[in-house]
């Protein structure tokens, strides 16, 4: 356990906006439920930006639509992961992979830290970057964020990242909470800060989910971003059925086209979309007495989906939930469709 002493801040963890203050080294659990930083997998990855991608386990969100749920919701499932890896070791094998023929063939030029949420492993990532740049001082780094680092952590991320891929889940707080279990305000604060450092931004990514992150949410996000800077790059991603929304329909081609048009009308200049569309699924009927609890119809629908897989809260707030560390949603297995 000696090598864990370099992560002393995990003894009072405030890396993300939850600022749980738990002692992760001693086994206390915050919203992410992680102890020491652990690697799920790592490999060369051709998706832009081309990279050696390191997927770290754990997440401070509990999103209904998580496509990496086996990584994000470790240790609440039986996922097989690599576990703790010394930073100098993964730095060495990562640089070697990037320099390899296979790495050069795909155009890999940087480390890409993803998850889950890499924020919960921030001190470990900083060590990996440090060692990688000892080997190659020009080594680039991409950090993938859900926008929920603490203010201090986000400044640290900006300090070592050459590019940042930044996911915006929703704009309205009620919808964001229903979808992720977390408030939106810290995300919007970090979006605003990101706009001031757009030279570090690869793109904002917005997942389009029918009946949840639909045109109402898209317009609100687009107007918010355009007010900050009309030149910010935005990519809309087409939702495909995943995790708790495993029976939900994918985004249609028309919806994706409409999303781009709305964003452009809001003033954004650099907008595109990607992904597979028109995957069939089912939109569930929501009891009116349930929907009446919500201002936004899309929030009500997402909250209803959460309830179907065991969420005990009406308006989701994972940090305040009595069942935070025995969360049925976090342990959900998408092989059993609701």
Within-domain flag for 51: yes
Position 336 scores a pLDDT of: 47
171 neighbors 221 (Cβ within 8 angstroms): yes
Position 337 scores a pLDDT of: 44
Within-domain flag for 325: no
- Rounded to an integer, what distance in angstroms lies between the CA atom of residue 282 and that of residue 214? 16
Within-domain flag for 257: yes
Within-domain flag for 273: yes
Position 5 scores a pLDDT of: 56
CATH number of the CATH domain containing 85 = 3.20.20.70
Position 139 scores a pLDDT of: 98
- Rounded to an integer, what distance in angstroms lies between the CA atom of residue 273 and that of residue 54? 24
Within-domain flag for 307: no
Domain region containing 155: 31-285
pLDDT of the chain along its 338 residues, tens only? 444 557 899 999 999 999 999 999 999 999 999 999 999 999 999 999 999 999 999 999 999 999 999 999 998 887 889 999 999 999 999 999 999 999 999 999 999 999 999 999 999 999 999 999 999 999 999 999 999 999 999 999 999 999 999 999 999 999 999 999 999 999 999 999 999 999 999 999 999 999 999 999 999 999 999 999 999 999 999 999 999 999 999 999 999 999 999 999 999 999 999 999 999 999 989 999 899 999 999 999 999 999 999 999 989 999 999 999 999 999 998 864 43
Our count of domains for the chain comes to: 1
Position 335 scores a pLDDT of: 66
Position 284 scores a pLDDT of: 86
Within-domain flag for 174: yes
Within-domain flag for 323: no
CA nearest neighbour of 150 among 177, 178, 109, 187: 187
Position 255 scores a pLDDT of: 98
Within-domain flag for 293: no
């Amino acid at each position: 356990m000696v090598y864990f002493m370099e992560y002393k801040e995990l003894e009072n963890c405030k890396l993300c906006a939850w600022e749980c203050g738990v002692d992760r080294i001693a086994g206390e659990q915050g919203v992410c439920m992680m102890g020491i930083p652990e690697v799920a997998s790592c490999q060369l990855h051709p998706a832009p930006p081309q990279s050696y991608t390191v997927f770290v386990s754990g997440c401070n969100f509990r999103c209904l639509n998580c496509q990496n749920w086996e990584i994000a919701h470790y240790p609440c499932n039986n996922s097989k992961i690599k576990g703790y890896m010394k930073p100098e070791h993964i730095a060495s094998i990562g640089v070697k992979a990037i320099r390899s023929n296979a790495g050069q063939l795909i155009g890999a030029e940087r480390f890409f830290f993803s998850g889950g949420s890499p924020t919960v492993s921030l001190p470990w990532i900083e060590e990996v970057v440090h060692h990688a740049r000892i080997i190659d001082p020009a080594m680039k780094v991409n950090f993938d964020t859900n926008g929920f680092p603490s203010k201090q952590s986000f400044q640290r991320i900006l300090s070592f990242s050459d590019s940042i891929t930044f996911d915006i889940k929703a704009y309205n707080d009620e919808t964001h909470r229903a979808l992720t279990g977390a408030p939106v305000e810290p995300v919007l604060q970090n979006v605003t800060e990101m706009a001031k450092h757009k030279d570090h931004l690869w793109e904002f990514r917005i997942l389009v989910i029918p009946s949840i992150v639909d045109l109402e949410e898209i317009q609100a996000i687009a107007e918010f971003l355009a007010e900050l800077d009309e030149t910010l790059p935005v990519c809309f991603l087409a939702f495909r059925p995943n995790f708790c929304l495993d029976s939900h329909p994918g985004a249609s081609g028309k919806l994706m086209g409409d999303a781009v048009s709305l964003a452009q009308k809001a003033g954004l200049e650099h907008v595109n979309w990607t992904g597979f569309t028109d995957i069939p699924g089912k939109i569930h009927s929501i009891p009116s007495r349930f929907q009446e609890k919500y201002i936004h119809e899309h929030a009500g629908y997402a909250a209803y989906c959460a309830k179907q897989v065991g969420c005990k809260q009406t308006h989701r707030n994972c940090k305040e939930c009595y069942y935070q560390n025995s969360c049925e949603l976090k342990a959900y297995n998408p092989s059993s469709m609701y």
